Amino acid sequence: MSNQGFVNQNIKPLNTKRNEKGNLEISGCDVVELAKKYSTPLYVMDEATLTKMANDYKEAFSKYENVKMTFASKALMTSSIAKIFHNLGFGFDVVSMGEIYTLLNSGIDLSKVSFNGNNKSLEEIAFAIDNNIDHFSVDNFYELEKLNLIAKEKNKIQKIHLRITPGIECHTHEYIKTGQSDSKFGFDLNQINDAIELIKNEYKNLELVGLHAHIGSQIFETSVYFDEVKILLSEIKRIKDKFNLELNEINLGGGLGVTYTKEDNPPSVYEIADTIINSIEIHTKEFNLKKPVLYIEPGRSLVCSAGFSLYTIGSQKNIEGVRKYVAIDGGMADNPRPSMYQAKYFAEIANAKEKDDFEKVTVAGKFCESGDILIKDIELNSPKSGDILCVYDTGAYCYSMSSNYNNILKPAMVLINNGVSDVIVKRQTLEQLVQNDVIIDRLK
Ligand code: LLP
């Protein structure tokens, strides 16, 4: 089941096997030992898998002469993860002051960073300009006005892209679609002319250089990328003819899907790259345009399969003839995706078992909600209290969307590589949990 295809087509990280003890071993680390050493729940990231995927992205797009790779930080942002992508030559797509701050904390400047988001605050805009961000992807008229004003105050000409909604439907979960017309993000195609008029005539501190779109996440179709390129380039052609302005940058966003369970069948990054490059060839010829600088900003596909979560199994509840619940020491606060998007995950017992005796169970979290079910109906090898459960593909949108629901502490994160393991995010402490609480005088 694992290691059959490219990284985003695998459920498990590279180099996943059972060792001589019968324990799960990933990248030379005994997973049961990791759980013992760092305690559970635990997020683990395998550097080799992450690096392979990042290098596949670079190689797949190397056929195109001018590509800018950025990592969509929202998928997983910690100081060490940022460092890894920076060292691999990636820039970043950020959506908040917090993400910018994390980069700066890692000693990464903003020269390869784009700022996305549909409601950036004035404080965030000023902070990004002060720290010399490369460009903003401007989402709406309000932002155009405010950004121009702040850039003017700071005596800067700010490079921008316009984020547009290309009106492309893709077949993914309703909440993670973004490119369809009825979306909170970006300028509608029929608002672009007005935006450009404003930039040309009034907003003199903005320099428009490109168009940006993002059609959705966990995408399995290559054709939507072909269409996205076509729409962006046809807009560039229209803008060139109407305003005598040739924009020379396009950003296609992220979206490439990954394999959470064997039902998922995403294309490889090479197929996506070929589709995109082919569409650029065809449509720059058709519209008689220069080949643009190409930005892509994948998130999930770069980190998802490199990550897994370890839990300890505790209580069990068997409802005869109905279902057996197996409860773990984490759940919806460290991985909200099943309860938010009905996301499905694959898991297995990490510790050795004398023999195979699989039974169908439902993995429940420990949070006080019936909806806190991590995996419904999965075959596990005789799950017992004290067993370590390894849930795969938790590298994206788990840590970054985690919460302190029920005042339960956030897990630590460990980076593994070839037999070595290091904490890259410490486990939260009880003191940290209440550090911002204030007990006001009259309550004392
Ligand atoms: N660029 C933009 C402008 C985006 O909005 C996103 C994701 C990306 C790039 C990266 O997309 P990716 O390659 O990761 O698909 N929390 C949801 C996913 C939300 C995605 C939001 N935007 C989930 O857990 O499935």
pLDDT at 168 > cutoff 90: no
Q: What is the DSSP letter of 282?
A: H
Q: State if residue 176 touches ligand 1 by the CB under 6 angstroms criterion.
A: yes
Q: Taking a C-beta distance cutoff of 8 angstroms, is the pair 129, 150 a contact?
A: yes
Q: State if residue 300 touches ligand 1 by the CB under 6 angstroms criterion.
A: yes
State which of 94, 164, 183, 214 you would mutate to test the pocket of ligand 1, scoring each by most atoms of that ligand within 8 A of its C-beta: 214
**Atom 8, ligand 1: which residue's CA is nearest?**
254
pLDDT tens, position by position, 283-314: 999 999 999 999 999 999 999 999 999 999 99
pLDDT at residue 1, as a whole number: 39
Q: State if residue 340 touches ligand 1 by the CB under 6 angstroms criterion.
A: no
d(Cα 33, Cα 272) in Å, to the nearest integer? 38
Least confident of 56-60, 174-178, 289-293: 174-178
pLDDT at residue 5, as a whole number: 78
Q: How far is the CA of 396 from the centre of ligand 1 (A)?
A: 9
Whole-structure pTM value: 0.96
Q: State if residue 199 touches ligand 1 by the CB under 6 angstroms criterion.
A: no
Q: How far is the CA of 142 from the centre of ligand 1 (A)?
A: 23
pLDDT at 254 > cutoff 60: yes
Q: How far is the CA of 253 from the centre of ligand 1 (A)?
A: 8
pLDDT tens, position by position, 324-378: 999 999 999 999 999 999 999 999 999 999 999 999 999 999 999 999 999 999 9
pLDDT at residue 174, as a whole number: 60
pLDDT tens, position by position, 102-134: 999 999 999 999 999 999 999 999 999 999 999
Catalytic annotation present for 398: no
Please tell me which residue, 176 or 241, carries the higher pLDDT value.
241
What percentage of the chain carries pLDDT values higher than 90? 94
Mean pLDDT calculated for residue range 197-218: 97
CA nearest to 160, candidates 135, 179, 182, 181: 135
pLDDT at 2 > cutoff 60: no
* Backbone phi and psi for residue 413, each to the nearest 5 degrees, phi listed first: -125, 135
The band of 26, judged by pLDDT with boundaries at 50, 70 and 90, is very high
Q: Tell me the two tokens of residue 129.
A: 């300009």
pLDDT at 175 > cutoff 70: no
Q: Tell me the two tokens of residue 232.
A: 């962006």
pLDDT at 178 > cutoff 70: no
d(Cα 117, Cα 132) in Å, to the nearest integer? 18
pLDDT at 3 > cutoff 80: no
Q: How far is the CA of 167 from the centre of ligand 1 (A)?
A: 17
**Atom 23, ligand 1: which residue's CA is nearest?**
397
pLDDT at residue 366, as a whole number: 98
3-state SS, residue 189: helix
pLDDT at 176 > cutoff 70: no
**The ligand 1 atom nearest the CA atom of 218:** 15
State which of 77, 92, 217 you would mutate to test the pocket of ligand 1, scoring each by most atoms of that ligand within 8 A of its C-beta: 217
Q: How far is the CA of 212 from the centre of ligand 1 (A)?
A: 14
pLDDT at residue 418, as a whole number: 96
State which of 7, 74, 276 you would mutate to test the pocket of ligand 1, scoring each by most atoms of that ligand within 8 A of its C-beta: 74
The band of 169, judged by pLDDT with boundaries at 50, 70 and 90, is confident
Question: Residues with Cβ < 8 Å from 394, sequence gap 6 or more?
Answer: 43, 304, 307, 308, 309, 335, 345
Q: Tell me the two tokens of residue 207.
A: 């320099």
Beta-strand runs (E) in 57-198:
67-72, 91-94, 113-115, 135-138, 158-165, 187-188
pLDDT at 170 > cutoff 90: no
Residue among 29, 170, 304, 368 flagged as catalytic: 368
**The ligand 1 atom nearest the CA atom of 173:** 25
